[in-house]
């Protein structure tokens, strides 16, 4: 029998805790019980902080009983992808190279969650350094999909999304470089938002592709996504790419959520969507029809450069990764080889022994693309394509408020199905990558199930810094449908 308390979303739980109807300690204990029951199979957490979480929950309960003011997320158990720095526990990036790394500071998003009185219960599994689409590249453990444990949860934020879907936390943070929040959200039937590049601080997020990475919320409802954005969005002086709020202010996303949306114009890109499986295409078409019935105007557009997004992304992301991962040298951070003969061996053996196969592949690809003589042919060309893709979005948003498309061409695939074929794995990112190249916000919301009872996600993309509108658009569909209320049978 599902635990009623765990069925609540963050907003409901927060309100009940604030009203003294539920204790935060009760919520945390229920979560840890669910973790003990189901996480041995699901493998969502790399580490949990039971004592610390229960102590924090107890403090919140005391504050509330004493009538003291508390934060926006007071007493709500949340999880963090293990590529965000915390002073408590290790920050592993699911890599052997950082297995015992303890960060000297908290990521800004972690500080913000703590300031909002959230109860952080653990850090979740991911593809090593967030490189992958299935969480199978984790160097530490395997995560499976709560809807079908023979399938992947998606990736790279597979631990966070499977934990939210299986009620092993109420919300989680993920990071999205090319789809890592949205694609696993779609595979696990939850809501995943990648904010505009620069809207949420990346300070303390272990860098993969710095010009693409963005932290965002993974939740069970759109309202929770808005609530989490209220906490994590905003300028951070510690991150020079975080955007100045005097030109692009943040707002109260939750308060704006139910404001009416008049004359909504939605664009679809038929020739692009045709690459998805039949059942995915049908679910997306049905969702778009539902919007039309609600009064939206649907237009078909052409975005001619989207076909080149994967090629451009896998040059740019690997180039940035090869540079970002140079710091793991056996000297500054993490793993060091035993008994090296000289300093060259400290470097080469430490990296050879502790990086996984996919990370090595990407370092080699990126180093090649940046090397003298190849830079113009690959890296520079990819940057030019990125500009053309940005241009496609600029012209699209002159004609519409948002674009709708699939999140992924398929539903969750079988464990092992694509892991030996990197190109097939990379192609599964076809629908998510363009938002990162263009820096625009995009959300995945549940919009159906296939014949195997696996969730399907609808992706909605909006202009930069229009998260408030994007959330409102997502919300009107969620209100009309029940997809987000379905839960895997194991809980």
Nearer to ligand GLN, 180 or 459 (CB): 180
180 contacts ligand GLN (rule: CB under 6 A): yes
In whole angstroms, how far apart are CA 332 and each of 328, 350, 355, 415, 445? Answer: 7, 12, 15, 35, 41
429 contacts ligand GLN (rule: CB under 6 A): yes
Interface with ligand GLN in residues 445-464 (CB under 6 A): none
Distance CA 481, CA 443 (A): 17
Nearer to ligand GLN, 112 or 182 (CB): 182
Q: Is 177 exposed, middle or buried (0-12, 13-18, 19+ CB in 10 A)?
A: buried
Coil, strand or helix: which one is 266?
Answer: strand
DSSP string, 60-88: HHHHHHTT----TTTT-EEEEETTB--SS
Confirm if 401 and 469 have CB atoms less than 8 A apart: yes
DSSP string, 87-148: SSS---TT-GGGTT---SS--HHHHHHHHTT-EEEEEE--SGGG--SSSTT-SS----BTTB
**One of 156, 160, 175, 186 is an active-site residue; which one?**
156
Residue with tokens 């996504």: 225
Residue in 44, 156, 242, 350 binding ligand GLN, rule: CB under 6 A: 156
Q: Tell me phi and psi for residue 434, to 5 degrees.
A: -60, -35
Q: How far is the CB of 285 from ligand GLN (least distance, A)?
A: 25
**One of 11, 56, 81, 469 is an active-site residue; which one?**
81
Nearer to ligand GLN, 156 or 324 (CB): 156
Nearer to ligand GLN, 119 or 181 (CB): 181
178 contacts ligand GLN (rule: CB under 6 A): yes
**What does R_g of the chain's alpha carbons equal in angstroms?**
21
43 contacts ligand GLN (rule: CB under 6 A): no
Nearer to ligand GLN, 132 or 334 (CB): 132
Question: Per DSSP, what are the bridge partners of residue 300?
Answer: 268
Q: How far is the CB of 263 from ligand GLN (least distance, A)?
A: 33
Q: Which stretch binds ligand GLN (CB under 6 A): 173-181, 334-342, 376-384, 386-394?
A: 173-181
Q: How far is the CB of 146 from ligand GLN (least distance, A)?
A: 20
Distance CA 364, CA 261 (A): 48
109 contacts ligand GLN (rule: CB under 6 A): no
Confirm if 44 and 206 have CB atoms less than 8 A apart: no
Nearer to ligand GLN, 182 or 469 (CB): 182
What tokens were used for 137?
């590249």
Interface with ligand GLN in residues 206-245 (CB under 6 A): 208
**One of 95, 138, 180, 428 is an active-site residue; which one?**
180
Confirm if 461 and 402 have CB atoms less than 8 A apart: yes
Q: How many residues bind ligand GLN, per CB under 6 A?
A: 13
Distance CA 76, CA 281 (A): 36
Q: Which stretch binds ligand GLN (CB under 6 A): 28-36, 74-82, 131-139, 471-479?
A: 131-139
Nearer to ligand GLN, 25 or 444 (CB): 444
Q: How far is the CB of 212 from ligand GLN (least distance, A)?
A: 8
Interface with ligand GLN in residues 298-327 (CB under 6 A): 317
Residue 160 annotated among the catalytic residues of the structure: no
Residue in 146, 179, 184, 448 binding ligand GLN, rule: CB under 6 A: 179
Distance CA 144, CA 11 (A): 27
177 contacts ligand GLN (rule: CB under 6 A): yes
Q: How far is the CB of 65 from ligand GLN (least distance, A)?
A: 42
Residue 180 annotated among the catalytic residues of the structure: yes
132 contacts ligand GLN (rule: CB under 6 A): yes
The mark string for 50-79 relative to ligand GLN (x by CB under 6 A, - otherwise) is: ------------------------------
Residue in 176, 236, 320, 467 binding ligand GLN, rule: CB under 6 A: 176
Q: Which stretch binds ligand GLN (CB under 6 A): 174-182, 339-347, 415-423, 450-458?
A: 174-182
Q: Which of 216, 223, 232, 230 is nearest to 174 (CA)?
A: 216
DSSP string, 296-326: -EEEE---TTGGGHHHHHHHHHHHHHHHHGG
Residue 81 annotated among the catalytic residues of the structure: yes
Residue in 86, 133, 242, 408 binding ligand GLN, rule: CB under 6 A: 133
What tokens were used for 58?
């107890």
Q: Minimal CB distance to ligand GLN: which residue?
A: 180
Distance CA 196, CA 215 (A): 10
Contact residues toward ligand GLN (CB under 6 A) are 130-133, 156, 176-180, 208, 317, 429
Q: Which residues are catalytic?
A: 81, 156, 180
């Amino acid at each position: 029998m599902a635990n009623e308390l765990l069925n609540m979303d963050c907003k409901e739980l927060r309100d009940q805790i604030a009203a003294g109807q539920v204790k935060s300690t009760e919520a945390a204990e229920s979560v840890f019980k669910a973790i003990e029951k189901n996480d041995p199979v699901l493998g969502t957490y790399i580490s949990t902080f039971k004592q610390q979480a229960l102590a924090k929950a107890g403090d919140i309960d005391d504050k509330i009983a004493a009538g003291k003011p508390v934060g926006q997320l007071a007493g709500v158990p949340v999880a963090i992808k293990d590529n965000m720095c915390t002073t408590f526990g290790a920050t592993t990036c699911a890599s052997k190279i950082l297995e015992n790394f303890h960060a000297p500071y908290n990521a800004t998003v972690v500080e913000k969650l703590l300031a909002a009185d959230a109860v952080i219960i653990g850090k979740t599994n991911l593809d090593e350094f967030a490189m992958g689409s299935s969480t199978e590249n984790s160097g530490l453990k395997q995560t499976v999909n709560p809807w079908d444990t023979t399938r992947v949860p998606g990736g790279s934020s597979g631990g966070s999304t499977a934990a939210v879907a299986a009620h092993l936390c109420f919300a989680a943070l993920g990071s999205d470089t090319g789809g890592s929040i949205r694609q696993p959200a779609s595979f696990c039937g939850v809501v995943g938002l990648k904010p505009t590049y620069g809207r949420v601080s990346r300070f303390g997020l272990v860098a993969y592709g710095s010009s693409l990475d963005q932290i965002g919320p993974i939740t069970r409802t759109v309202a929770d996504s808005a609530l989490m954005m209220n906490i994590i969005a905003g300028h951070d002086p510690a991150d020079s790419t975080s955007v100045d709020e005097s030109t692009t202010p943040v707002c109260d996303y939750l308060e704006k959520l139910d404001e009416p949306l008049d004359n909504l114009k939605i664009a679809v890109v038929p020739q692009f969507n045709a690459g998805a499986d039949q059942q995915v295409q049908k679910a997306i078409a049905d969702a778009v029809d539902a919007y039309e019935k609600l009064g939206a105007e649907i237009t078909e557009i052409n975005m001619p450069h989207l076909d080149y997004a994967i090629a451009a992304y896998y040059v740019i992301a690997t180039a940035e990764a090869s540079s970002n991962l140079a710091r793991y040298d056996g000297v500054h951070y993490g793993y060091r080889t035993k008994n090296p003969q000289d300093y060259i061996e400290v470097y080469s053996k430490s990296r050879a022994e502790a990086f996984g196969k996919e990370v090595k592949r990407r370092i080699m690809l990126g180093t090649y693309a940046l090397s003298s003589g190849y830079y113009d042919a690959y890296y520079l060309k990819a940057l030019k394509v990125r500009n053309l893709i940005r241009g496609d979005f600029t012209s699209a948003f002159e004609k519409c408020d948002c674009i709708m498309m699939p999140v992924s061409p398929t539903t969750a695939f079988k464990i092992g199905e694509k892991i030996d074929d990197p190109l097939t794995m990379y192609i599964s990112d076809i629908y998510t990558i363009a938002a990162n190249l263009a820096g625009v916000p995009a959300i995945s919301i549940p919009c159906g199930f296939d014949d195997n009872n696996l969730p399907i996600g609808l992706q909605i993309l909006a202009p930069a810094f229009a998260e408030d509108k994007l959330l409102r658009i997502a919300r009107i569909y969620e209100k009309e449908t029940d997809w987000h209320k379905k839960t895997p049978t194991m809980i």
